């Protein structure tokens, strides 16, 4: 069985666009030419890849399987090109990262600023996603690696723990909860709360918590950022569950009080998820090294598998 990379790219474009005409446009082909190539691919595989109707196209089960493999194949081809372009150096290449809200807003800006300052040939596509989508993206190859907090499902991925994330309750100065040094999350449910927007990882986590407690929660305001949450809290609109790093940063410029949570789930491990560390391009392995270093404080020297350089990684 022979696969043409151009046909695989076309197939992925159509699947992601859920439309043959749009997918053909992304592949710089006419709809007729794209349809003919797609038909030939289906004939070669002996399987129907799409259901077609007036609204567009939808993947069949065989199409879902091919999409998963095609993404991995095409990304590996791009990695191969990048590796040979600089003979395996980490100064060129591209990578896609799926990460949770805390990673995108709290520590990745500083990590990437330092990492990219000496690597002008590297590009990064960093996307904020829910944990389940991060895991799925790494599994199906649509992301090179993912960054999550908390428990990781056992789906055959390599899990690299690199730092600890603590959730705290943030209140206005003078709020009744601020008089305590630590509280249980259930003690906060009688107060109006501020949350991140629907679709954020923290909002999804908060929603799951409420379901576990079986008690109602009054969400007064939902906003788009930790800074907006803190401004609402400072103004007395409500209290909010935030990562400690974000709370400490915004307390420098706002009148906020941070209360430690006694719940065991408040302390969560941050982890990097990869399919195969050795299969990643040099630039991705180097960035993972940078992340591990930022989380460990540079305490121990360990080399990443398949890399040509030593990195400061925690065991």
Q: Report the C-alpha gap between 304 and 313 in whole angstroms.
A: 8
Fold of the 165-266 domain: D-Maltodextrin-Binding Protein; domain 2 (3.40.190)
> Which residues, in sequence order, are CB contacts of 152 under 8 Å at separation 6+?
135, 159, 271, 273
Maximum Cα–Cα distance across the chain = 71
Q: How far apart are the first and last CA of the chain?
A: 43
Q: 138 with 284: CB under 8 angstroms? A: no
Quote the mean pLDDT of the chain. 88
Q: Is the pLDDT of residue 286 over 70?
A: yes
Q: Is the pLDDT of residue 299 over 60?
A: no
| Bridge partners, 99 (sequence order) | 128, 147
How is the chain split among helix, strand and coil, in percent rounded to 5?
Answer: 45, 25, 30
Q: 66 with 12: CB under 8 angstroms? A: no
Each residue's pLDDT tens digit, 80-138: 776 666 544 677 889 999 999 899 989 999 999 999 998 888 999 999 998 999 999 99
* 165-266 has the same fold as 5-73: no
Q: Where are the domains of the chain?
A: 5-73, 87-163+268-311, 165-266
Of all residues in the chain, the percent with pLDDT exceeding 70 is: 91
Element (H, E) at 31: helix 31-45
Q: Report the C-alpha gap between 175 and 236 in whole angstroms.
A: 8
Each residue's pLDDT tens digit, 260-269: 999 999 999 9
Give the DSSP letter of residue 170: E
Each residue's pLDDT tens digit, 205-242: 888 888 888 888 889 999 999 999 999 999 999 999 99
CATH 1.10.10.10 assigned to domain 5-73? The reply is yes
Q: 268 with 131: CB under 8 angstroms? A: no
Q: Is the pLDDT of residue 311 over 70?
A: no
CATH of domain 87-163+268-311: 3.40.190.10
> Which residues, in sequence order, are CB contacts of 196 under 8 Å at separation 6+?
101, 202, 203, 222, 223, 224, 225, 226, 229
Q: Is the pLDDT of residue 296 over 70?
A: no
- Write down the pLDDT at residue 208: 86
Q: 11 with 4: CB under 8 angstroms? A: no
> Which residues, in sequence order, are CB contacts of 92 under 8 Å at separation 6+?
82, 85, 86, 119, 121, 122, 283
């Amino acid at each position: 069985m022979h696969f043409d990379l151009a046909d695989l790219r076309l197939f992925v474009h159509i699947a992601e666009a859920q439309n043959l005409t749009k997918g053909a446009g992304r592949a710089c082909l006419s709809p007729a030419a794209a349809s003919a190539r797609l038909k030939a691919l289906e004939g070669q595989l002996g399987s129907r890849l799409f259901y077609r109707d007036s609204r567009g196209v939808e993947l069949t089960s065989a199409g879902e399987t091919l999409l998963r493999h095609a993404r991995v194949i095409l990304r590996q081809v791009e990695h191969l090109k990048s590796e040979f372009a600089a003979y395996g150096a980490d100064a060129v290449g591209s990578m896609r990262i799926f990460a949770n809200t805390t990673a995108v807003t709290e520590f990745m800006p500083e990590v990437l600023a330092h990492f990219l300052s000496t690597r002008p040939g590297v590009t990064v596509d960093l996307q904020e996603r829910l944990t389940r989508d991060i895991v799925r993206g790494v599994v199906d190859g649509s992301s090179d690696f993912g960054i999550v907090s908390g428990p990781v499902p056992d789906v055959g991925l390599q899990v690299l723990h690199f730092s600890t994330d603590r959730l705290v309750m943030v209140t206005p100065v003078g709020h009744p909860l601020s008089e305590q040094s630590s509280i249980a999350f259930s003690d906060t449910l009688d107060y109006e709360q501020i949350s991140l927007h629907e679709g954020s990882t923290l909002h999804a986590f908060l929603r799951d918590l409420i379901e576990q407690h079986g008690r109602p929660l009054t969400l007064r305001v939902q906003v788009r950022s930790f800074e907006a949450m803190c401004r609402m809290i400072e103004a007395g609109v409500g209290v909010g569950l935030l990562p400690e790093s974000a709370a400490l940063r915004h307390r420098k410029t706002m009148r906020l009080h941070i209360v430690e949570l006694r719940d065991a789930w408040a302390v969560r491990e941050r982890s990097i998820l990869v399919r195969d560390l050795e299969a990643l391009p040099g630039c991705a392995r180097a960035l993972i090294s940078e992340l591990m270093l930022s989380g460990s404080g540079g305490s121990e020297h360990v080399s990443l598998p398949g890399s040509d350089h030593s990195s400061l990684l925690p065991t």
